[in-house]
Amino acid sequence: MYDQSAPQFNHAAQFPCLMTHTTIEDMEKFVFVLEIWDRINAGKDELVGLVKIPLASFCYSMKTTEDDVFSLNFLAE
């Protein structure tokens, strides 16, 4: 269905990430970009919004003094 006045976004995304001290240090320099698009019709998409989230504060909270390796599961619903 295109061009709805009250669309429902039933989308979930999940990606695992193995975290090491090197990974955390590298991620501190990056920004997570989330784009929301609306499909107007079969041939046209329109950008609704864009969010940029710096990962530095997120990575800072995960730093430990030990040489831990752990994994994270990011889930967005």
0.95 exceeded by the pTM? no
Strands 70-76 and 13-19: antiparallel
pLDDT in tens, 33-58: 989 888 888 888 999 999 998 988 87
The domain spans of the chain are: 31-64
Listed in sequence order, the DSSP H helices in 7-69 are: 21-27, 56-62
Residue 64 CB neighbours (<10 A): 9
- DSSP SS3 for 7: coil
Q: What percent of the chain has pLDDT over 90?
A: 12
Predicted local distance difference test score (pLDDT) of residue 49: 94
Per-residue confidence (pLDDT) for residue 73, from 0 to 100:
58
pLDDT at 21: 80
Half-sphere exposure of 57 (CA within 13 A, CB side): 2
Please, which pLDDT band fits residue 67 given cuts at 50, 70 and 90? low
